[in-house]
Chains A and B, each alone.
Chain A
Amino acid sequence: MILASALAAAVLFGSGAYLLLKRDLIRMVAGIMLISQSAVVTIMAAGLSRGPAAIAVAPGDAVSDPLPQALALTALVIGLATVALLLALVHRAVVVFRTAEQDELAATEAVHEAGLERQRQADREETEARLEDERRAERERAR
């Protein structure tokens, strides 16, 4: 049973890591979900040392440790909350960038940033030109 859980956790972690490295944001979220499940399976496996689950056992029978199951429950809830938050973020990113591909995301952002930088540069040149004009006008007045 421990071997089976270890294999399950390993497969979950491996597929999760594979998906996490994909360019698509949705796959990245799926990868993180699988890795979180791998952690939960590991917690469950950590308690499989003493016998069957502690449900309806005869008095005196060996039961498995119930604590990891409580931990797994907590971890599941936290995992659900964080993945929901991540999905909300991805949704927001797709709405703003109109793409779920990380490359395109970075590219659109670079274009946007370059546009902003050009604008700032133009502003700066304009103020400099204005200051220069004022100075020239002052010199002429002094003359």
Chain B
Amino acid sequence: MLLSTALLVPWVAGAVLVALDGRLRVVAWLAVASLAAALALLGVLAADVFGGGARQVVTGGWPAGVGIVLRADALGVVFALLSVLVLLAAAAHEAVGGVRSRTFPGLVVLLGAGLTGLFVTADVFSFYVFFELAMTASYALSAYGGKRRQLRAALVFTAVNLLGSFIFLLSVAGAYRVTGALAMEQVAERVLAVNPNAAILIAAGFFIAFCVKLGLFPFHFWLPTVYAGARPAVAAILSGAVANIGAYGLLRFGVDLFPEQLRLSGVVLVVLGAASIVYGGVLAVSRGDAAEMLAYSAIGQVGYVLVALGVGGPVGLVAAVLYSVINSLNKALLFLASGVRGALVAAAFAVGALSVAGVPPAAGFVGKLELFRTGVVAGSAALVVLLVVGSALSLVYLFQVYQRGFWRPDPAATGTPSPLPQRLPTAVLALLVLAAGLWPEPLLLLSSHAVDALLAP
């Protein structure tokens, strides 16, 4: 019951809000309120799931196996909470600053509905449907602002991601063909018996679709144009919430549905992740523009998730979950902070930068620590060296931006500080990152619960 309500609230609110004029202040705040309500409901659901195990609803009251199953387990709930939190911060940021398009508030809420549905569904095809709901909202969002750059960004984003979506759909068709099932549980059971060649082909299709979404190294060409071109709030939404689809998809489909194929391709994943880390880091150092640098940094940061996934095992998976959570908080914070000015924002940006680099008081340190543990468990010195190099690179490029954007002595170059309410969402996110770094136990517990749910038979 709680599960369906948590899904219905943003869905209905989004459908209503899209019809209203989003430039009105009250509509923007209604969007923020409905996202807050969705977040609260998900919080209650999360408490329920952590206390008493996964919650399951079969739509329409059909017996399971006939009706579509919605199933909230710890992993899905963690990602849903995180994504809605990022959307809430971005929506509040825009609501304070004044929304410039009719549809922005409604689209953000609908995106929240799509993401929530995606994280709680246990059916491969309805995963595709929610995936498209979320993606369609984000295609429209990426054009937000209506300037030339945003328009071009939206074109690139839509074209590349539509291709990714159809590759995903092809894989869904393939999975149905070889297993005769769409429920994830049944697919996972029956895939063990199918022809290994067919299974690895289908797994590769899913992998490509999610990597396009994540913007991982060989599939990243759309990403810099889009993240640098979109407005800060949209870039924060894309990198903090929409990219979660990729991380969640890799975890869910990789570990749950195709564990054998994931194990076989472990080395490939580690190599791709390492290439992503180095490529993103080096190119980020070479960029002057803050938004473009953050975009390349995003390519580098998702590489860590892939490396942890490639190493696998409970330690690697906990690191992957933890790092995707921390990374999406970091990216939301940095992109939002790059759009506003002032001393408070400079401090927030510095917290985000420290977190990305993995310096102790910030949450990124905990993530990096888990990654180092992964490297040690894998017994690979090269991996540990790679992690150190990646962290050093991120420290270099982020402080380059900090120095250029926030450290100028003359007020003409930095601009006048933004009004205080507009700086507050970034400050709150920064405090959250700091709190998660100073008191990491809840976050660690959350990730280990999520991985337990994933690995449970």
Contact = CB atoms under 8 A, between A and B. Distances in A.
A128 B408 CA distance: 13
A54 interface: no
Given A36-B166, A71-B125, A96-B148, A42 B174 contact: yes
Contacts of B169: 36, 39, 42-43, 75
Contact of A127 (B128, B143, B174, B412): B412
Given A32-B163, A96-B148, A128-B412, A85 B177 contact: no
B176 interface: yes
Contact of A82 (B128, B162, B172, B412): B162
Contact of A86 (B149, B152, B159, B413): B159
A140 to B, nearest CB: 21
**How many residues of B sit at the interface, in one of the four size bands?**
20 to 34
Contacts of B149: 109, 113
B194 to A, nearest CB: 13
B132 interface: yes
A85 B143 CA distance: 11
Interface string A66-98: 011001001100110111011001101100110
B136 A124 contact: no
A116 to B, nearest CB: 10
A85 B148 contact: no
Contact of B148 (A39, A97, A128): A97
Contact of B139 (A45, A82, A124, A127): A82
Given A39-B166, A39-B169, A89 B148 contact: no
Contact of B162 (A32, A90, A109): A32
B159 A42 contact: no
Interface residues of A, number: 41
A46 B132 contact: no
Nearest to B175: A46
Contacts of A85: 136, 139-140, 158
Given A42-B173, A82-B139, A112 B148 contact: yes
B136 A81 contact: yes
Interface of A: 20, 25, 28, 32, 35-36, 38-39, 42-43, 45-47, 67-68, 71, 74-75, 78-79, 81-83, 85-86, 89-90, 92-93, 96-97, 105-106, 108-109, 112-113, 124, 127-128, 131
5 contacts: A36-B162, A39-B173, A67-B176, A83-B162, A128-B412
Given A20-B163, A79-B166, 12 more contacts: A28-B159, A36-B169, A38-B166, A39-B169, A42-B169, A42-B173, A47-B176, A71-B176, A74-B125, A82-B165, A89-B158, A96-B148
